[in-house]
C-alpha cells in the first residue's frame, strides 16, 4: 500500500492544474479548427446532425456506441490531418516530396475514417431495412 505525505497533496493539486491547462489547450485547438478549417466545420456539423440518428438507429448500447464512435472518428482524424498540414506549412511553402507525402497521408487517413463510418452506418441501416 502506498503512503501519502504532505507533498502528495501539492502534487495532486499540480495534476489538477495540469489537467485544467490541457483542457484549455484542447478548447483552443477546437476553436482554431472551427475558425480555420472548413472541412472540420462540415464534419462537426454533420456529426451534430447525425447524433440523434445514432440513438434512433442503434438498438443496443453497443450499436449506439459504434455509431457514435465512428461519427467522432471523422472530425478527430480531420484534427490530426490539420495539425500535420499546419506543421508542414510552418516549415515553408516550397514544395518538398516528404511534405507532400505527409499531407497526402493525412488526407488518406481522413478518407479511411469516412469509409469506416460509412461502412458501420451502412451495415446497420441495411440490417434495419
Query: Residue 70: CB partners within 8 Å, gap ≥ 6?
Result: 113, 116, 117, 120, 121
pLDDT, tens digit, 9 for 90 and up, residues 23-78:
999 999 999 999 999 999 999 999 999 999 999 999 999 999 999 999 999 999 99
What is the value of pTM for the model shown?
Answer: 0.82
Burial class (CB in 10 A: 0-12, 13-18, 19+), 58: middle
- CA–CA distance, 86 with 84 (Å, rounded to integer): 5
SS3 94: coil
Average of per-residue pLDDT across 18-26: 93
CB-CB contact of 106 with 84 (8 Å): yes
Q: State the pLDDT at residue 74.
A: 97
CB-CB contact of 104 with 85 (8 Å): no
Q: How remote is the C-alpha of 37 from its chain's centroid?
A: 13
Q: State the pLDDT at residue 5.
A: 57
Tell me which residues are annotated as active site: 78
Closest by CA to 82, choosing from 99, 111, 103, 112, is 103
Mean of all residue pLDDT scores within the chain: 91
What pLDDT band is residue 11 in, cutting at 50, 70 and 90? confident
Q: State the pLDDT at residue 4.
A: 56
Q: What are the CB-based long-range contacts (under 8 Å, 24+) for 11-20?
A: none
Q: Which residue has the higher pLDDT, 75 or 5?
A: 75
- Looking at the predicted structure, is the pLDDT value of residue 1 above 60? no
Q: State the pLDDT at residue 124.
A: 94
Amino acid at each position: 500500500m502506498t503512503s501519502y505525505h504532505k507533498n502528495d497533496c501539492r502534487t495532486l493539486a499540480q495534476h489538477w492544474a495540469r489537467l485544467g491547462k490541457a483542457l484549455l489547450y484542447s478548447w483552443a485547438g477546437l476553436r482554431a479548427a472551427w475558425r480555420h478549417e472548413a472541412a472540420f466545420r462540415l464534419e462537426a456539423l454533420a456529426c451534430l446532425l447525425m447524433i440523434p440518428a445514432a440513438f434512433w438507429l442503434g438498438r443496443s448500447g453497443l450499436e449506439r456506441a459504434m455509431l457514435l464512435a465512428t461519427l467522432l472518428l471523422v472530425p478527430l482524424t480531420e484534427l490530426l490531418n490539420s495539425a500535420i498540414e499546419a506543421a508542414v506549412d510552418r516549415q515553408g511553402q516550397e514544395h518538398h516530396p516528404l511534405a507532400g507525402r505527409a499531407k497526402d497521408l493525412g488526407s488518406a487517413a481522413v478518407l479511411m475514417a469516412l469509409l469506416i463510418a460509412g461502412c458501420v452506418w451502412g451495415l446497420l441501416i441495411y440490417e434495419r431495412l
